[in-house]
Structure 1
Amino acid sequence: MTTDQIRGHQTILEMLDRALSRGRLPHALLFAGPVGVGKNRVARYLAQCLFCEQTPSDQLSCCRECNSCKQMAAGTHPDLISIECPPDKAILPLSLIIGSEERRGREGVCYEMSLRPMTGNRRIAVIDDADKMNAESANALLKTLEEPSANYLMILIASELDAILPTIRSRCQLIRFAELSADDVSELLLEHQLAESPEQAQQVARLSGGSLDVASQLLDENLQELRTSITRLLCQHPFRPQAFSQAVIKAVDDIGGNTAAQRKTAHWILHFCADFYHQALQTAAGHESAVNNAQIDKFVNGFPGSTEDRIEKLGSLLDRLLETEEQIDRNATISLCIENLSEDLRSLQKSTS
């Protein structure tokens, strides 16, 4: 891995490089920021630089040719301990921190970090989903953080900083990660051959909120079809609330009984709607839109009145979507929220019919 493969975080890389050159790299780092922006990638790059057998330990660089670099590339370096929350769990299991009940204290990241390095003079632990630790897991980790060994490094990764206990945060140096730019996300999608074309990559990147993970999800064929269907309904003059609500509720119901998944789908749909109205707002205001879309032009031109009237109406539509999103976040009934939203969207647009 090289710095060319890490996008959007040059300032962080420079800060880590300065810390190494001055011999001031802390024993514990907390990488905090949105999901899918490259926190884990930076953590592993730092580990590879520290493990590298050919480059000085006070430089953030690696040769990519030595045994350690090759082991890092293969994910088999014996002195890198890496854990994350299993996909089917909401809480990072205590067993990953201090071992299972049968082997408590004889396995887990705390035990691994008490052992001598197998190669070189370092051990590094990367704890992804650190914000999913409960109080018991966090307290179990505290002793290891409080009594660091020389040349041992722990990197905690979190997307929800507020979920990290103050006792953990106080023992780590916090490094904040920002969202990636749409251009960075688009280029990463093409580099990883996730998008079929530059146009698709740009479209998805614009909706991703600066997250490669979100962008990858948006490439799902079902979501692509859903977005096309929702956009077609939004374009219509006059707006048809019943058709819109039926389409949305069906898409949510098709997920099944998993309430969390249903709410996620509802949020995707609201996200698609908000993006459509936002692009329409940009067009109405005379700004260059991120997309050249005849549907949006036709939709905007369907509004009577002055430019100011169109902008005000589109702003009201966006505000109403935000209100629905907040209602769903408060666990309101999804179908009722969508039905009320549909009627309100018609009311806000009725002068265009």
Structure 2
Amino acid sequence: MSYLLTLFDKTPRRIRVVEGILQAKRTVTNLFWGQCYGLLPYLGADRHLKRATYDTWLQSQAAKGNLLIDQQMAWLTPQGLSVKQAWQTEHYQPQFGQWTWLANWQQLANRVLLALQLVSEYQHHNRRFAPLPVSFKDKVAVRQWFLQQSSLIGQELLKELTSYLTALEKADPRLADLFVFQLIGHETAGWTEAEAARRLAVARQDLFWMERDMWLFLAHSLWQQTGTLAALVQPLLAPSPLPKSVQTTVEAWQRGYSLAEISRFRHLKIGTVREHLLQATILVPEQVPVMKVLPPQIVARFAEQYQGSALTWQFQAQTNDPGLEFFYFRLLQIKAAQTVGKEGEDEFGSHR
């Protein structure tokens, strides 16, 4: 749990946003503030995080003097900032969070490890072995994949894994070593957690982030590829950072349909359609440029209505359609978050 301190800063952050980002809760609020905090590379990093565990950790850090908590906001004390900086210096830091949208890496790991175990036992003509404890769904998927492969499956997998490991070793040799010695096969048990930490000269808690990185690297290596291993994992890989329904809305908007028209023919509430576009402007801004959605008169009115940085604005409805007004309000905030420069200024010239 110690890594959680690195997700906070000296300025206040929303406690539930940090939690939601780790658990892969893709609400517009989580995505927007996750973008502002620079936490989108952690989206879905710890899907099994329990609220009770998280809240207990928050209170323990407050008791130690590392965090200050006020209602639903938390920020680092000077002591906490020092602890965070020390942690970042002494521990493994995630490298491939930009691919977090590609897959649920833990499910991907379960399926690949079981498949490699099955092929290893098959190569040694052993049908009596204890399979890795994965979900029934993953067991069925691996079995169906295996039955569709040729008798050359061992050679094909070896070739594909060699290519993957060569690329991974160039990125970080420790990750390549961890992958190899994590494998379980015929008369091969792999490293224990303690042994892996000792051999790689890292703390045991670092292994979580190293494993995540190596599986995200594999997902990206196999994304839109063909081959034996790709056939196994392709069903788990997302075609884009956007959920399918959101992508469909975006494509309709790109073809020139209005939000009202999309709402009608997709049988969605207008608020849902707006949320889809907000998600897209955060995750794939090149597909939905903010200023193409915002009427110029709205930009001008909000610049007069609100003062300071757009990221600090407090929404105040002034029309009889607060839903639409908030949609524009959030779009401007997203634009501000995306255009904050190295000097710390947003599009309106205000310092954060």
The TM-score bracket by the shorter chain reads under 0.3
What is the TM-score normalised by the length of structure 1?
A: 0.26
Q: Which structure shows the bigger proportion of residues in helix conformation? A: 2
